[in-house]
Amino acid sequence: MAGTATWAIEASPRVHELLKHLHTASASQEKSLSQVWFYLKTIIGFYIRKAAWPKAADDHMRHKFVSLEQDKCQFMYLLARSLGAKNIIKAGTSFGVSTIYLALAVGQNARDARVMGMRATGKVVATEKEATKAAKTMDYWMQAGDEVEPWIEMREGDLRETLQVTEGMPEHVDMLLLDRNLDSDGAAGHPERSAATVQGSYDPGG
């Protein structure tokens, strides 16, 4: 799917090259012996000993991409485009790879709406707990340029707090993407990840 879907992603050569670089770096990390061993220990601890996500794991994962695979990112882009999604929440952006795809879709959906004579704005509200990751992520978005960066709002900190801030939050959310499990600190609590989508009004207290 990845080879075919790449041609369906509307982006400049610069953005395509950046995404290729980020996916390659992420895949290299995921396939490394140390990372495979880390996942194996964590899964055994979770299923056999019912162990919670250890704090030491946060240190291990602090510099890891933990990004969706390329075909999943492409699927989310195509889904966002087909829905005409203009307001998306990405809960836990890590190094922002999948968020680049979402920002591309939001910007293009807003552009298409304007062509049809509608007033349209939009953005991806992205959260990240780790300050070092947030800084590096915003650097990647800056490298992506005007196709991506203007369409993202980064909210750094515990998502249970940052998403409670209603200022700047759209009233209607077209899509929500989040990790499958979050621990008590609002961080990813399990190496298995999934993406979910919703449509509806945003209610920070609900």
Tens digits of residue pLDDT in 114-171? 999 988 889 999 999 888 889 999 999 999 999 999 999 999 998 889 988 888 888 8
Q: What integer pLDDT is reported at residue 181 of this predicted model?
A: 47
User: Treating both helix axes as pointing N-terminal to C-terminal, what angle do 70-83 and 97-115 enclose, rounded to 10 degrees?
Assistant: 20
Which among 196, 200, 203 is positioned nearest to 72, based on CA atoms? 196
CATH code, residues 66-180: 3.40.50.150
Helix (H, G, I), strand (E, B) or coil at 95: coil
Residues of the chain with CATH 3.40.50.150: 66-180
Q: How far apart, in Å, do the first and last CA atoms of the chain sit?
A: 37
Mean pLDDT (the chain) is 80
Spatial CA neighbour of 169 closest among 199, 124, 139, 112 = 124
* Chain-centre distance for alpha carbon 195: 9
**So what's the pLDDT on residue 104?**
97
C-alpha closest to that of 9 among 119, 172, 144, 139: 144
Tens-digit pLDDT profile for residues 64-94? 656 778 899 999 999 999 999 999 999 988 8
Alpha-carbon dihedral of residues 91, 97, 102, 108, nearest 10 degrees?
Answer: 150
Q: Taking 60 as the threshold, does the pLDDT of residue 30 lie above it?
A: yes
Question: Residue 194: is its pLDDT beyond 60?
Answer: no
pTM (2 decimals)? 0.77
Per-residue burial over 172-185, b = 16 or more CB atoms within 10 Å of its CB, e = otherwise: ebbbbbbbeebbee
Percentage of residues of the chain with pLDDT beyond 70: 69
Residue 172 β-bridge partners: 201
Q: Which residue has the higher pLDDT, 40 or 59?
A: 40
Average pLDDT on 170-190 reads 65
Is residue 201 over pLDDT 90?
no
